[in-house]
Chain A
Amino acid sequence: MSLRSQLLKGVLEGCILSVINRQSTYGYELSLRLQEYGLSDVSEGSIYPILLRLQKENLIEGTMQKSELGPKRKYYHLTEDGENALREFMEQWENIKLPVDNIINKGGETR
C-alpha cells in the first residue's frame, strides 16, 4: 500500500471513531455523516473494511437494534479501547496539523 493511501486510511479511521463517539450509528448513516462533513471523495463502500478492522481491533462494537422505521440495523459504539484510540488520534492530529499547514504554506511562499 502506498504511503498516501496509508495516511488517508489512518485519518479516515480517526474520523469514523470520532463520528461514532458523538452518537452511535450504523453504516449507511455513517457514510452520510462523513459526506456531510465534506469527505465526499471517500467512496461509500470504503467504510466497511475499516469498520471490520476497528471491530477486529476491539475499538468499536456493533449491536443489532431496531431502527425507528423498522428494519434491524447494526449500530456501532466505541469501546473503552476505542475511546483511548480516539484520544490518541486527536493528539497526534493536533501535533501534525499545524506543522504540515505551516510547511505547505511557507513552501508556497519561497521564491
Chain B
Amino acid sequence: MNSKDFIKLNNDMREKLSEENKEIYEDMLVYIRLNGNKSEQQTEEVLFELLEHLLEAQKEGKTARDVFGHNLRKYCDELIAEIPGEKQSFALLFGAYIVIYFLGILSTFHGIANFVLHQFFDVGSNDFTFSIGSGITVVIIDLVILSGFILIILRWLRNSTFKEKKPKKWVEFLQLWFISMIFIGATVLVPIIMPSFGSEITIPVLFFAVIGVLLFLISFVLNKKFRITK
C-alpha cells in the first residue's frame, strides 16, 4: 500500500473515533505529518497503526490519553525521532514539483491577465518587454519568498496543535489572512521595485500563458507518474 492509500483509509476510519479521541488523534496526526523531512510512507503507516490501536482501545472504554500518555507532544516527538528520513531523490522531486507548479500558475495568470486587459480594456500592450537579468532575479526571489511562506504556514499549523484552549476561529482566520497578504504583497512588489538590467527581450503576452500551461502539464505528468500528491 502506497502512503496515499493509507491517507485515504485513515480518513475513512477516523470517523469512527469518539469526539474526544478524534480531537486528540487529529492533533497528533497534524503534528506528526508536519515533522519535516521524514519518510511519508513510514509516517502514514505508523499513523494508521496508532489509529487502529485507538479504535480497539476505544471499544474497551479507553481514551487517547490512556493509550498515548498525558504528554502527547513528547510522545509524538519520540515517534518522529524514530521515523526514517525521506529519500533525498523524492524530496528533490517534491521540491521540483512545487516550483514548476508555482511558476505555471504565475506564468499563466500573467499571460492571460495582460492579454485580457489589452484586448478588452485597452490597457497595456500585447507585447511584454523585460530584461533577462532582472527577470530571472525576480523569479528566484519569488521562489525564495514562496519557500519562506510555506515554512511559516507549516510552523503555524504545527503550533496550532495540542492547545488546551482552542483559539477562536476568526482569530486563526485573521492570522492566516495576514500571513497570506504579506506573501502576495511581497511576490507582487518584487518585479515592481526590481531595477532592470541585462539585455531586453520582447515577447507576446500570450506566450506566457502557453509556457504556463506547459508547466502545468509537466507538473500534472510528474504527479501522475510519481504519485506526489494523490
Contact = CB atoms under 8 A, between A and B. Distances in A.
For chain B, the bracket of interface size reads 20 to 34
B106 to A, nearest CB: 40
Interface residues of A, number: 22
Contacts of B81: 49
B57 interface: yes
A45 B67 contact: yes
A52 B57 contact: no
Interface stretch (B41-49, B118-126, B195-203, B214-222): B41-49
Contact of B52 (A28, A43, A53, A55): A28
Contacts of B53: 27-28, 31, 44-45, 48
B19 interface: no
Of B48, B56, B79, the most chain A CB neighbours within 10 A belong to B56
B83 interface: yes
A45 B82 contact: no
Given A56-B84, A62-B45, A74-B45, A48 B52 contact: no
Contacts of A53: 82
B69 interface: yes
B90 interface: no
Interface string B58-83: 00000000111100000100110111
B50 interface: yes
A63 to B, nearest CB: 10
A38 interface: no
Contacts of B68: 43-45
B46 A52 contact: yes
A100 interface: no
Contacts of B56: 28
A52 B69 contact: no
Contacts of A3: none
A51 B67 CA distance: 16
Contacts of B50: 45, 48
A62 B45 CA distance: 10
A71 interface: yes
A52 B83 contact: yes
Interface of B: 1, 9, 13, 42, 45-46, 48-50, 52-53, 56-57, 66-69, 75, 78-79, 81-84
